[in-house]
Amino acid sequence: MTVLLAEDRGAVRILTMNRPEKRNALNTALTLALLEALRAADKEQAIGCVVLTGAGQGFCAGADLSEFKDLTPQKQHLVEARAELTMQLHLAFPKLGKPVVTAINGAAMGGGAGLAVAGDLAVMADNATLGYPETKHGIVAAIAMANLVRQAGRKAAFELLGLGEPVGAQRALALGLVNRVVAEPQLIEEALGLAHKLAAVSRPAMQLTKQLFHEAADLPLAEALARGREANKRMRSFRKLR
C-alpha cells in the first residue's frame, strides 16, 4: 500500500498520510515519502500550496514504535540516520517557498503533533486532539520541541511537554497552535479554502513572505529589520517575475 497519497485540486496539492491501520505513524518509509513529496511540490510551478492530512481516524500518531527495536546503541548509524531524517522533515516546512496548510483530522501525537503545528496554517477538527506524550514513556519530544516553543510560548509549551497530556481543539486554538476549528466533515473543505487563497497570491511575494517571516521570528530586531530592508528592495522586481 502506498504510504502517502497525492491529489491535485487546481493549484493545491493534497498529501494524505496513508497508514490508517497505524494511525499514520511515521515509519522510515512514510517520513521519506513526506520529505520527498514536500520538496517535489515546492519545485512544481503549477502548485501554489500544499494541504497535509491523514487517512482514517487519526492525523498522525507520531513515530512508529515498532521500528525502535532496531534503534539501539549497538546500531548507532541507524539511530543517527533516523534522527537526521526526522529533523530534515520538520525543517522542510519553513524552508519551502510555498505554504503548507495542515488539516488535523484526528489525534496528532508526539511527532505527529509536531507535523500538525509545523504548517504555515492549521485547521483542526473539533473532535481532534493534539499532544506530546513522550515524557509518559520516559523519552523526550526532542525534535518536535523546537517548533512548539516558537508557536505556543514558554509556559504553555512546557506544560504540553512536561505533563504529556493531550489538549482538545478549542484549547489548541486558544494557545495559537491552530488557526481554525471546524466540524470534522468540513475539515478538508475549510483547509482547501485557505489553501486556494494562499495559492492565488503572487508566487514571488509568497516565497519572500515565508522566507522573511521565519527569519524575522528568530532574529534580533535590528537584524530582522535589515532583512526586511533588503526584501523591500527585491520587491521592485515582482511585476517582472509574475
What integer pLDDT is reported at residue 229 of this predicted model?
86
Per-residue pLDDT tens digits for 89-145: 999 999 999 999 999 999 999 999 999 999 999 999 999 999 999 999 888 999 999
Per annotation, catalytic residue among 134, 184, 189, 223: 134
The Cα 187–Cα 155 span in angstroms is 29
Residue 143 · residue 87 · CB < 8 Å: yes
In this structure, which topology does domain 4-199 adopt according to CATH? 2-enoyl-CoA Hydratase; Chain A, domain 1 (3.90.226)
Would you call 134 a catalytic residue per the annotation?
yes
- E strand intervals along the chain: 4-9, 12-17, 49-54, 100-104, 108-109, 121-125, 129-131, 167-168, 180-182
Per-residue tens of pLDDT for the chain, all 242 residues: 799 999 999 999 999 999 999 999 999 999 999 999 999 999 999 999 999 999 999 999 998 877 666 656 666 766 688 789 999 999 999 999 999 999 999 999 999 999 999 999 999 999 999 999 999 988 899 999 999 999 898 999 999 999 999 999 999 999 999 999 999 999 999 999 999 999 999 999 999 999 999 988 888 888 888 988 888 877 766 655 44
Helices (H), 3-75: 28-43
Place of cell 485540486: 9
> CA of 198: how far to CAs of 48, 92, 119, 207, 236, in Å?
7, 18, 13, 11, 21
Residue with cell 481543539: 169
| 3-class DSSP assignment, residue 167 | strand
Per-residue pLDDT, 67: 67
